[in-house]
Structure 1
């Protein structure tokens, strides 16, 4: 009655659990143990590999899984590989032959085997998932086992393969799922009893099939009718699993197209540093950066810079920037150059692939109306002017090789263009982040004895759950918050003061927006202080923008 299938299924579930706990070597080793106990467990192995490869955060752990897989294969498979009897037992047993019974005869000794065809189609559809989380993995794997179970009238134990996955599905779904799975399970048991006599004690045999056959004409069709009904219920369950656990999976729906963030602000506002901070949360493997500096029309040595500044839109290829952004949003790769701030020259064209998150940063990312329509979240960095000059002077002198005189001259030269072209872009932003010294005199007495203390002013026009954010910042991070609501209830201004650690920010994120944690890297790089708070506030807005996709 299939009791020997309990062991391989148990091993398979332990392997899946190891994957869930991120013990990849153990998961690979136990997966091979499951296959060695029952060759049919091989059905699940490609789904393991697809999951680890298509989940970009886990792709680097695929090697660990393969190491466990290889070591276990050497231990379990070697005796069978060098044994003709073992190979015959594996590939020539009656259960394996039942896979080929369902076929489409094309004539001329050529047939199409339906079960392998559907299984390969299932693998292809699974491979097409651009991003994979654990719920999608177990739903796709369970669906593959379920399709095999109700298409092949094989051993009764085959139903055991799908039982854990049906339990997973019932846990994620509602009462209708429980009813359908209950009916399917009952019909499968009844169908099995009609096909297979049940041995009892003292040599007695309970043969339900023989009993029905005694009922005349109806009895001759009872088994086929019952199996047909069972398959119909199984198809309903398969459709519901695909619809509810896969196509309506929140992770699947939210990750089907790239999420685009724009970070605007004046020169020296911290756009690059903030871009790196956000990239550190999602991982470099999931983020592509598009910098407006790479679309300057001329190298620094060209005479055109004598009559206009980088802040002038006419000095930048904004149409090319817009075209490349749209291409990345459509999932296409682009050819772009990189502007080297130290040499002032452009690199050769580089191929840039699209990714799950696109961060567009620069002086003019909110300048064109068409650009503003591309973004899912628009951020403007409105840093305190004195603080901006301090940071820009420090960056351009120590990192980009400029002289102090050149930087000071650029402040005077670019002031008019900044007021005309850059600062008005803040009116189009959903979120404005402004770093300010707690007291203006701090910039005048900045030294080791008088460290710079900052506050973060957050302005949002999109609206957010400010009460939850306020509660988490005070209760978890221990910060002081002043909050002002504008005449429009969606406009909120929060002033945040205090010091916090990266660990507190990470804990606050788990409380504030747990839905988005699956999109983060395995070990997101949270930062201390105001940078970490900017990460947290931005993540809460990304979470809100992702949820908004459900109603669009």
Structure 2
């Protein structure tokens, strides 16, 4: 509250408020004087829950208030107050607009990261808002306020309230129904939010019951809505074809934008916001829209100016200036008699028409330039948009017992099982465990595995297709029945030979090799195979000795092809002898990074946030960096470090990602950092 009071004392805010109050006091726009205020006055004088019927029964114009209950209820309180205080209802109408305007300002302050002064200058003093709402008297600020409220709730995962506010916005102005499909696409294509999609449907249902069922029972309300001349504007721009067939360009542009949104396989909030704003921008530009419609795109323009460069500010300012000129011509105010007498009435009308048309042409042209720039900068550069072109593929290789499955699972639980598709190299063994061929060769040998099928299936998943796969059961030593694995946003391919074939290495956006100290690997493999797989210690040690030549020949050379190498080592060679089930060995993590560029920031965060000891070495040309990390850290520290080093990656994660303690948590953090870097490289 204290910050809000300081915000309201800002000179820019006070200036904008004074301008609004002055316009309300000095002007009485035609729509307000002839339609809105008389309708509200009539509904207050003889209060009824069906004000549309009461208005029409007294001979009122059918186009006076073609809005639903949400719009009527929004204006009612301040109009009732003005009626009680014997103040003209036009003040109640104007103050209601200010309330919606101020509410929208506060919502934009939550949505957009910007200095208060910047936001006040760009939005609160915007000529679009001042002219449309207070000079011309249009009420589009109300449905836009409700719509942005719904968008804020979506961002905060308050889906029930979001659905209710969205239906309120549609009730306030039916045109807001254009936003509904984009909400549904966003929630459906964001797999984390899809889990709580039922809450949004509950909010939609509640909003429908509150605002639409009573309105549908009002025949007069439906009549006034149908008589709204603005509905016909979407059909003005068209191309006539043979046999009296016409293509309407506004619905065509909207449907194409809807399809473009659908084609994005997963949206984040910024992408959803930009695509929705783009759809409104195209509709406004391609329709002979009333000046009030331009308020629909005001949040998009504000966000674009805040996040853009100087060119964004210049182009948006030009757009606003052209809007002012266009609105002035739109009002049809009295022209100077001297000019009319000089050029003649007929010539003046032609001149005025051409000036109006040229102004609107320039306005549309500038708007299309804005649309192109917003598409390029806010959409095509968006990480989620880049991800939607193909899944992000992670390859994880390493020797037996190096922890590939544990690591792959640790990455999977960050993104959520709903967003990850996994394939394991163990599932591509050519024979069951009891087949005699295993006496001839080990499963470390590539010839004992169907690497061709592994590569084909990985390519299919990368291409967005589903595959038929089987699972190798380590308990029984047999393959399961085939099952379907569908492509997903994140694909994790792990296995002994995940980096063996060149074609496999070309599939990965990030390739990882898990190295491990040999004594530590023996320790972990004995722990796993004895406790989980029922082997004897002797059998495990015998298998390790048998596989060692193949491991040196086929597995370890794969490290040369990895972008990231995690080497796990005990902090002291003798510590393994002291380890027990309840007192695991203390470890250090050595990380070798290729193609990275933020290791310095990573080092600072690991030291400053996680309290770890970090040594850093770089080769002569800076292409490889080695970090040696010692110490203990918690899952909370890892989460905080991730927020600092790669905050944008959180849009990709599950609603409640599962962070790990210790070394595994460090591997999660470093992997996320490199995923973020790999996504950045996609744009280069």
Give the TM-score range, shorter chain. over 0.9
Question: In the aligned structure 1, how far is the partner of 2:316 from the partner of 2:276?
Answer: 17
Structure 1 partner of 2:437: 304
**How much does 1:137 deviate?**
1.3
**How much does 1:88 deviate?**
2.2
Q: Work out whether 1:519 is the aligned partner of 2:648.
A: no
Return closer, same or farther for 1:78/1:546 CA change in 2, 3 Å cut-off.
same
Return closer, same or farther for 1:87/1:209 CA change in 2, 3 Å cut-off.
farther
**How much does 1:487 deviate?**
4.4
Greater mean alpha carbon deviation, residues 212-221 or residues 394-403: 212-221
Aligned match of 1:384 in 501, 517, 520?
517
Aligned match of 2:570 in 437, 441, 456?
437
Following superposition of structure 1 onto structure 2, how do residues 262-301 of structure 1 map, counting pairs within 5 Å? 262-301=395-434
Greater mean alpha carbon deviation, residues 245-254 or residues 298-307: 245-254
Residues 385-438 of structure 1: per-residue CA shift (max 9 Å, x gap): 222122212222222233434323322322222222222222222222122222
Q: Work out whether 1:538 is the aligned partner of 2:665.
A: no
**How much does 1:2 deviate?**
4.3
Query: Contact 2:383–2:679 at 8 Å: present in 1 too?
Result: no
**How much does 1:452 deviate?**
1.9
Structure 1 partner of 2:238: 103
Q: Work out whether 1:32 is the aligned partner of 2:188.
A: no
**How much does 1:304 deviate?**
1.0
Greater mean alpha carbon deviation, residues 29-38 or residues 491-500: 491-500
Aligned match of 1:407 in 540, 547, 562?
540
**How much does 1:381 deviate?**
1.2
Question: In the aligned structure 1, how far is the partner of 2:414 from the partner of 2:510?
Answer: 16
Question: In the aligned structure 2, how far is the partner of 1:483 from the partner of 1:180?
Answer: 46
Structure 1 partner of 2:263: 128
Structure 2 partner of 1:89: 224
Aligned match of 2:552 in 419, 422, 429?
419
Structure 2 partner of 1:203: none
Following superposition of structure 1 onto structure 2, how do residues 18-97 of structure 1 map, counting pairs within 5 Å? 18-97=153-232
Residues 223-249 of structure 1: per-residue CA shift (max 9 Å, x gap): 223222222222222222222221233
Greater mean alpha carbon deviation, residues 523-532 or residues 147-156: 147-156
Question: In the aligned structure 1, how far is the partner of 2:543 from the partner of 2:378?
Answer: 56
**How much does 1:449 deviate?**
7.8
Query: Contact 1:259–1:356 at 8 Å: present in 2 too?
Result: yes
Determine helix, strand or coil for the equivalent of 2:212: helix
Aligned match of 2:273 in 112, 117, 138?
138
Structure 2 partner of 1:201: none
TM-score (norm 1): 0.93
**How much does 1:376 deviate?**
2.3
Following superposition of structure 1 onto structure 2, how do residues 70-469 of structure 1 map, counting pairs within 5 Å? 70-106=205-241, 108-197=243-332, 206-207=333-334, 214=345, 215=348, 217-447=350-580, 451-469=584-602
**How much does 1:217 deviate?**
3.6
Greater mean alpha carbon deviation, residues 246-255 or residues 319-328: 246-255
Structure 1 partner of 2:130: none
Return closer, same or farther for 1:195/1:376 CA change in 2, 3 Å cut-off.
closer
Greater mean alpha carbon deviation, residues 302-311 or residues 144-153: 144-153
TM-score (norm 2): 0.75
Residues 142-198 of structure 1: per-residue CA shift (max 9 Å, x gap): 12212222222243321222222221222222233223323333333333333334x
Return closer, same or farther for 1:125/1:466 CA change in 2, 3 Å cut-off.
closer
Determine helix, strand or coil for the equivalent of 1:57: helix
**How much does 1:29 deviate?**
0.9
Return closer, same or farther for 1:318/1:142 CA change in 2, 3 Å cut-off.
same
Structure whose residues are more often helix by fraction? 2
Query: Contact 1:483–1:492 at 8 Å: present in 2 too?
Result: yes
Question: In the aligned structure 2, how far is the partner of 1:399 from the partner of 1:84?
Answer: 71
Query: Contact 1:287–1:356 at 8 Å: present in 2 too?
Result: yes
**How much does 1:450 deviate?**
5.3
**How much does 1:209 deviate?**
11
CA radius of gyration, larger in = 2
Determine helix, strand or coil for the equivalent of 2:389: coil
Question: In the aligned structure 2, how far is the partner of 1:396 from the partner of 1:546?
Answer: 37
Query: Contact 1:142–1:162 at 8 Å: present in 2 too?
Result: yes
Greater mean alpha carbon deviation, residues 461-470 or residues 18-27: 461-470
Residues 98-146 of structure 1: per-residue CA shift (max 9 Å, x gap): 2222233335444332222221111111111122122221211112212
Return closer, same or farther for 1:302/1:15 CA change in 2, 3 Å cut-off.
same
Name segments (4+ residues, structure 1) moved above 6 Å.
209-213
Question: In the aligned structure 1, how far is the partner of 2:160 from the partner of 2:354?
Answer: 50
**How much does 1:547 deviate?**
1.9
- The number of equivalent residue pairs is 543
Query: Contact 1:264–1:361 at 8 Å: present in 2 too?
Result: yes
**How much does 1:349 deviate?**
2.0
Greater mean alpha carbon deviation, residues 335-344 or residues 187-196: 187-196
Greater mean alpha carbon deviation, residues 114-123 or residues 28-37: 114-123
Query: Contact 1:194–1:208 at 8 Å: present in 2 too?
Result: no
